[in-house]
Amino acid sequence: MSDYNFAYLDEQTKRMIRRAILKGLAVPGYQVPFASREMPMPYGWGTGGVQVTAAIMVPEDRLKVIDQGADDTTNAVSIRKFFQRTAGVAVTERTAEATVIQTRHRIPEVPLTGGQILVYQVPIPEPLRFLEPSEIETRRMHALEDYGLMHVKLYEDIARHGAIATSYAYPVKVEGRYVMDPSPIPKFDNPKMEMDAIQLFGAGREQRIYALPPHTRVVSLDFEDFPFEASKADHACALCGAADSYLDEVITDDAGGRMFVCSDTDFCAGRRTGEVAA
């Protein structure tokens, strides 16, 4: 390693991203515009998360990257290798050993600690975007704290389906002020967002960064008579037996066979070797 500047990005880009991160931490849940760079991977593959990770990384970091909870999928492997090559940092698959965790669409099952930083890859940072396509309008709605439309959407879910059908990217309200998209994590993970670690969100194509300091109040939107529910598949993991982890459904043959296994591969492997307490 040495043919790249440390962590790939040039220093002026890092300063720009770092300034955006600091403003994001100062106004939790507000989406700070930033001048997203082209990265050597396509939009949609975590360019926002990669830029945030590159801007916060120090040489002593130990990086973990997960894609839907798994360390061994293409996206996670590629990003891990990218930082091994451009920053020379150590990597790990163990949640507890990582100092920086970049994630696509999951929060690890093991609670994160104060020394860790969780970086989310975000496709559409604007929670109101599918309700209001105009950026000028959504920006004004955030400014005026005008979130009625989001409640109408959740209400229409109930009217049509008898329950709030939104199961991922479930909107949250941060410190009673900004409605925020938690990225497409399953709503099972929403309650974990009040945590000890710093959470940073990077949306590369949409050019937004936002953040949650530790212990920030994060409330999933709901109604008194239809309270938020962190749901998961009603099974235990077929490999480790965990009844309290988020599960992926895996099709095992073409005759309808299927199994449910932990989405968090490190958690599941740790339970099977006895390293993670049952």
Partner 1 sequence: MSVLQGGFADGPRDAAHAFRAAMGAMARPGTIHEIAGAVPPAPLSVAAGTLLLMLCDPDTPLYLAGALDRAAVRDWVTFHTGAPFAGPERCAFAVGTWAALGRLQAYPQGSPEYPDRSATLIVEMERLEAAGTMLRGPGIREAAALNLPDTAAMAANAALFPLGLDFFLTAGALVAALPRSTRVGGLSDVRSG
Instruction: Quote the least distance from Cβ 29 to partner 1, whole Å.
Output: 9
Is 69 tagged catalytic?
no
Region 55-84 residues binding partner 1, contact defined as CB under 8 A: 55-59
Q: Of these residues, 24, 29, 49, 202, which one is catalytic?
A: 29
- Indicate the residue among 94 and 177 with the shorter CB distance to partner 1: 177
Determine the Cα–Cα distance for residues 35 and 205; give it in Å rounded to an integer.
10
- Indicate the residue among 16 and 66 with the shorter CB distance to partner 1: 16
Instruction: Quote the least distance from Cβ 28 to partner 1, whole Å.
Output: 5
Is 257 tagged catalytic?
no
- Indicate the residue among 64 and 142 with the shorter CB distance to partner 1: 142
In the sheet that holds 198-203, the strands lie side by side as: 32-33, 208-212, 198-203, 117-121, 100-104, 62-67, 90-91
Report angle CA 99, 69, 36 to the nearest 5 degrees. 65
The answer to whether residue 20 forms part of the interface with partner 1 (CB under 8 A) is: yes
Region 117-176 residues binding partner 1, contact defined as CB under 8 A: 139-140, 142-144, 175
Query: Residue 224, exposed/middle/buried by CB under 10 A (0-12, 13-18, 19+)?
Result: exposed
Instruction: Quote the least distance from Cβ 157 to partner 1, whole Å.
Output: 28
Q: Among residues 214, 226, 232, 238, which is the contact residue for partner 1, using CB under 8 A? A: 214
End-to-end C-alpha distance for the chain, whole angstroms: 40
Q: Number of residues interacting with partner 1: please give it, by CB under 8 A.
A: 43
Is 262 tagged catalytic?
yes
- Alpha-carbon distances, residue 99 vs 57, 131, 193, 198, 263 (angstroms): 9, 37, 17, 11, 21
- Indicate the residue among 111 and 213 with the shorter CB distance to partner 1: 213
Determine the Cα–Cα distance for residues 215 and 76; give it in Å rounded to an integer.
27
Determine the Cα–Cα distance for residues 8 and 201; give it in Å rounded to an integer.
19
Is 88 tagged catalytic?
no
Instruction: Quote the least distance from Cβ 62 to partner 1, whole Å.
Output: 14
Give residue 4's identity as a one-letter amino acid code: Y
Determine the Cα–Cα distance for residues 3 and 240; give it in Å rounded to an integer.
43
Is 29 tagged catalytic?
yes
Determine the Cα–Cα distance for residues 7 and 201; give it in Å rounded to an integer.
18
The answer to whether residue 19 forms part of the interface with partner 1 (CB under 8 A) is: yes
* Residues annotated as part of the active site: 29, 237, 240, 262, 268
Using CB under 8 A, list all residues that contact partner 1: 5-7, 11-12, 14-16, 18-28, 30, 32-33, 55-59, 139-140, 142-144, 175, 177-178, 198, 211-217
